[in-house]
Structure 1
Amino acid sequence: MGVLAPTAATATAAPVAPAVSCSSQRAGLAAQLTKDITAALKGRSGTVAVVVNDRISKTSCSLRADQQFDSASVVKATVLGTLLWDAAKTGRQLTATERSRATAMITQSDNNATSALWKQLGVAKVKGFLTAAGMTRTVPGADGYWGLTQITARDQQKLLALLTVRNNVLTDASRSYALQLMNQVVPSQRWGTPAGAPATATVHLKNGWLSRASYGWRVHSIGAFTGKGHDYQLTVLTHGNKTMDDGINTIQAVARAVHKDLNPKAKLSRTVKPPVAPQEALPAVPEAPARTLITATPQVQP
Structure 2
Amino acid sequence: MRYRLLPVRHPETAARRRGRRVVACAGVLLASVTALVSAGTLDPSPATAAAPTARPDGTAGSAAPVRPCSKARVTAAVLSLDGSNRATTVHGDDTAYDTASIIKVDILATALLQAQDAGRTLDAHERELAEAMILHSDNASANALWREIGRAPGLEAANKRLGLTSTKGGDGFLWGLTQTTASDQIRLLRAVFDTGSASNAGPAPLDEASRAYIRTLMTHIESDQAWGVSSAAGSGWALKNGWLQRSTTGLWDINSIGQVTVNGHRYLVAVLSAGNTSMNDGIALVERTARAAVESAAGR
Fold match (TM-score > 0.5): yes
Tell me the distance in 2 between the aligned counterparts of 1:191 and 1:220: 10
For 2:77, which of 48, 51, 67 is the aligned residue?
Answer: 51
Conservation of the 8 A alpha-carbon contact between 1:51 and 1:65? no
Counterpart residue identity of residue 254, structure 2: V
Tell me the distance in 2 between the aligned counterparts of 1:165 and 1:91: 23
For 1:159, which of 188, 195, 200 is the aligned residue?
Answer: 188
Secondary structure at 1:195 match in 2 = helix
Partner of 1:241: 276
Change (3 A) 1:99 1:228: farther
1:262 shift after superposition = 5.0
1:249 shift after superposition = 0.4
Provide Cα deviations, 1:33-87, integer angstroms capped at 9, x if missing partner: xxxxxxxxxxx94111110111324364213453111111010010011011111
Partner of 2:162: 133
Instruction: Tell me whether 1:216 sits opposite 2:251 in the alignment.
Output: yes
Conservation of the 8 A alpha-carbon contact between 2:76 and 2:182? yes
Instruction: Tell me whether 1:90 sits opposite 2:118 in the alignment.
Output: yes
Unaligned 5+ residue runs, structure 1? 1-43, 265-302
For 2:106, which of 72, 78, 82 is the aligned residue?
Answer: 78
Change (3 A) 1:141 1:258: same
Provide Cα deviations, 1:121-142, integer angstroms capped at 9, x if missing partner: 1133212111111212101000
Tell me the distance in 1 between the aligned counterparts of 2:225 and 2:80: 24
Where in structure 2 are the equivalents of 1:1-302 lying within 5 Å?
Answer: 45-57=71-83, 58=85, 60-64=88-92, 66-123=94-151, 124-166=153-195, 167-199=203-235, 202-212=236-246, 213-214=248-249, 216-225=251-260, 229-261=264-296
Conservation of the 8 A alpha-carbon contact between 1:68 and 1:152? yes
Deviates more, 1:134-143 or 1:73-82: 134-143
Partner of 1:18: none
Tell me the distance in 1 between the aligned counterparts of 2:239 and 2:270: 10
- TM-score normalized by the length of structure 1: 0.68
Conservation of the 8 A alpha-carbon contact between 1:49 and 1:236? yes
Tell me the distance in 1 between the aligned counterparts of 2:159 and 2:74: 23
1:256 shift after superposition = 2.3
Change (3 A) 1:47 1:261: closer
Ranked by relative contact order (alpha carbons within 8 Å, sequence separation 6 or more), the top structure is 2
Conservation of the 8 A alpha-carbon contact between 1:223 and 1:234? yes
Counterpart residue identity of residue 76, structure 2: V
Which is greater in Rg? 1
Change (3 A) 1:226 1:91: farther
Provide Cα deviations, 1:191-221, integer angstroms capped at 9, x if missing partner: 000114112xx21100000001247100000
Secondary structure at 2:234 match in 1 = coil
1:229 shift after superposition = 3.3
Partner of 2:65: none
1:254 shift after superposition = 1.6
- Count residues in correspondence: 219
